[in-house]
Amino acid sequence: MKLEDYLKRDAELYPNKTAIVHNDKSLTFSELWQQAQTMAESLPKGEKVVFRATQDIDFVIKYMALHLNGSVAIPVEKDLPEDSLQDIVNFIKPCQPAPEIADILFTTGSSGKRKGVMLSHRAIIGNGLNVTEAQGFDHDSAFIITGPMSHIASLSKIAPVLINGATLIMTEGMKNVNDFFDAMELPYKKFSTFLVPSAIRILLQFSGERLKKYADKIDFIETGAAAISASDIQKLCETLPHSRLYNSYASTECGLIATYNFNDGKCLEGCCGKTTSRTKIIITDDGLIACQGDTLMSGYACDEALTAQVMRDNTFYTTDYGRIDENGMLRLSGRADDIINTGGFKVNPIEIESIALSMPQIADCICIPAPHPVLGKALKLVYVPKAEVTKKEIALYFKGKVESFKVPFYYEQAEKIQRTFNGKLDRKFYKS
């Protein structure tokens, strides 16, 4: 079955159930199916369609309509400059995706090069089934969208909603936190959402008590896209003691590979749980994570050479270091591109950032390499203070917690830490 098949089934089985909500507007499954069919008739068939991913009901109608008429949906950021949008249109024009391709999602990744990830109907449904099984999506789920629909973390939630006949609640994101809390005032039994670690930190710092009031309504929260610190893991578990809190390993190219409910009394940092049922994890001889299964991308659009670099024998090779522990759970060690070599020692910046964030006086931070006359590269901590703190106090906080070569050599106070649109630390910004 494809997404449109599930929507048709939902319209037949649950015609009057609310399928999607945005502000004061909503559509039942029957209405969504009818409007998608109507729009499909007015759109070009079998085309590659680049369109802005607005955070509203109209986006979902158009997305489903494109699937219905056999076109390839290519959603891009809603605020993407017109010149950049046209660049994507021109780039994709000569590409001839195979008939099974449903979506092309553009991602930049660590290389800085724009890549068009081709996803088949099989990959989309396989990922939706993995999410359903691994995280407990069901018919009563009401999932709150807080991120851009051009990003896999949000777009991929359409599948489990349709597979289960659940409800999708659209918001404009976390810029206005009231929208998030207003969504949980809607008359549904239980709510779930995906939040990047930076959004979780902001909620805990500024709206922790307010979040706690909804503890009995929140079924689960999933996080990913970046590392979540040990201190934020602990605080979130304390705030939502009865909710499932998932740390996931996923990507546009692979879908949901593994997920771990860290609200299990152990709160394991860096743990991404066991492999989902339709995927397989391989740890290479170099310690890098490779993935196999139904949810893998079909390749990069118009770039066979780049595809060949990362995909061989139906296996996708990542640049993430990891291991499988004694309990069969995936443990992340960091990205190969991010590891800092200082004086011959290799340091994972995520470890340094996690320790810094556990310091009460630090609100946000990033660990980056900086030139050193003897070591070549030394660790530099760029931090945003929450309260008055000296560089000496930060250095002393690290001592006894890590080896001496992991204690940052340089410190720089900043007003904010640069992040990408989806909440990841923008390491490329600090390298430039």
76: CATH: 3.40.50.12780
Domain count along the chain: 2
Residues of the chain with pLDDT under 50: none
| pLDDT of 111 | 52
Shared domain check, 315 and 351: no
Task: State the burial class of residue 392 (Cβ atoms within 10 Å of its Cβ: 0-12, 13-18, 19+).
Answer: exposed
**396: its two tokens:** 């002393």
Q: Which tokens is 100 given?
A: 């099974």
Give residue for tokens 């020692």.
345
Phi/psi-derived region of residue 179, left when phi > 0, alpha when psi is between -120 and 50, beta in every other case:
alpha
Of the candidates 18, 41, 61, the residue with the CA atom closest to the CA atom of residue 51: 61
Same domain, yes or no: 388 and 327: no
User: Would you say the pTM of this structure is higher than 0.95?
Assistant: no
Range of the domain at 224: 3-333
- Looking at residue 127, its amino acid is N
Nearest to 211 by CA among 231, 239, 248, 169: 239
> Which residues pair with residue 292 across a beta bridge?
280
Position of tokens 């203070």?
385
Structure tokens at 257: 């590979």
Q: Is 393 exposed, middle or buried (0-12, 13-18, 19+ CB in 10 A)?
A: exposed
Determine the residue type at 395: A
> What is the domain-level CATH number for residue 371?
3.30.300.30
**Final residue belonging to a domain, choices 309, 333, 357:** 333
Is residue 400 located within the same domain as residue 265?
A: no
Q: How many CA atoms lie within 13 A of 350 on its CB side?
A: 19
Nearest-Å Rg of the Cα atoms of the chain is 22
pLDDT at 235: 96
The three-state secondary structure class of 403 is coil
What are the helix and strand counts (H, E) for the chain?
14, 24
Domain closes at, from 277, 304, 333: 333
Tell me which of 333, 350, 381 is where a domain ends.
Answer: 333
393 shares a domain with 248: no
In this prediction, residue 52 carries a pLDDT of 97
Do residues 163 and 213 share a domain?
yes
Indicate whether 343 and 280 sit together in one domain. Answer: no
The two tokens of residue 298 are: 């079909």
Residues 6+ away with beta carbon under 8 Å from 51: 62, 73, 74, 75, 76
Query: Do 8 and 116 fall within a single domain?
Result: yes
Helix (H) or strand (E) holding 21: strand 18-22
Strand order in the sheet with 48-53: 48-53, 72-77, 101-107, 115-120, 299-300
User: How do residues 125-135 score in pLDDT, each as one tens digit?
Assistant: 999 999 999 99
Q: Tell me, yes or no, whether 328 and 414 share the same domain.
A: no
Q: How far is CA 305 from the centre of its chain?
A: 26
Regarding whether 327 and 342 lie in a shared domain, the answer is: no
For residues 322 and 374, membership in a common domain is answered with: no
Q: Are residues 114 and 15 in the same domain?
A: yes
The verdict on 55 and 132 lying in the same domain is yes
